[in-house]
Structure 1
Amino acid sequence: MIARWCALGLALALSGCARAPETKAHPALWRVGDADTTIWLFGTIHALPPGVDWQTPAVARAIAAADTLIVEVPPADPAAARAQFVALAEQPGLPPIASRVAVGDRPTLARGMAAAGQTAADLDGLKTWAA
């Protein structure tokens, strides 16, 4: 299971490396509320490649109607988002990434690394979820 999440994370990271045609995203949006309060929970992915149109009309309406917008990563500061990711993702002394991935998922890992121009050494110092 962890290997599949790693592969997904790697695929998302890799997708930012190439110029892709515009893709329509379908982010999750949930409404939670009572008589006088509405809270929107918005399922986000921060490593989207260029050209992904994530702001659906429903998302735009929810953001426009909000009195307060709280996000876990500053949306206008990619350097700050990267710094936060690195602070959470790096962990010295981990075993090599290949040993943390199921044997059956290692070919997928190898293909992803090759497509991204990464080596196992580039990922060895990252927690498995981040690699």
Structure 2
Amino acid sequence: MKAVSRDTAAELLERREIETERQSDEPGVAWRLQHLSADAYQLSNAGRATAYDVTVEIGDMVGVRPMSGQDVPPGGSLKVVAERKPYTRDDVVTVNWADGRAGDGGQRHTWLRPLPLKPTE
């Protein structure tokens, strides 16, 4: 049996979550994280609902997180800059968001994804 890399497994899970959201009667948020160039990655809302008050954490990697508290509509995205270093032990990108605006009683959600490998890694 062929072993599946952690990155491939994460991509497969992403695709399954996006497909599940699209087949659901209730619109939701589904995230996709893709390498753009150098240390830049695109975090996209591939779902059919807006993610409110989005925050992004980048483990113990070096980089720049997007400004906290942004809303990401369906099809919208944020740029995340993150770089693994030799001392990096936590390369997980953590996304937190609400399914409604503050004060509307929106439920908070969390999505975790290892930083995708660059094409040369």
Query: TM-score category by the smaller chain?
Result: under 0.3
More helix by percentage: 1
Larger radius of gyration: 1
- TM-score w.r.t. the length of structure 2 is 0.24
Asked which structure has the greater RCO (Cα within 8 Å, sep 6+), the reply is: 1
- TM-score w.r.t. the length of structure 1 is 0.23
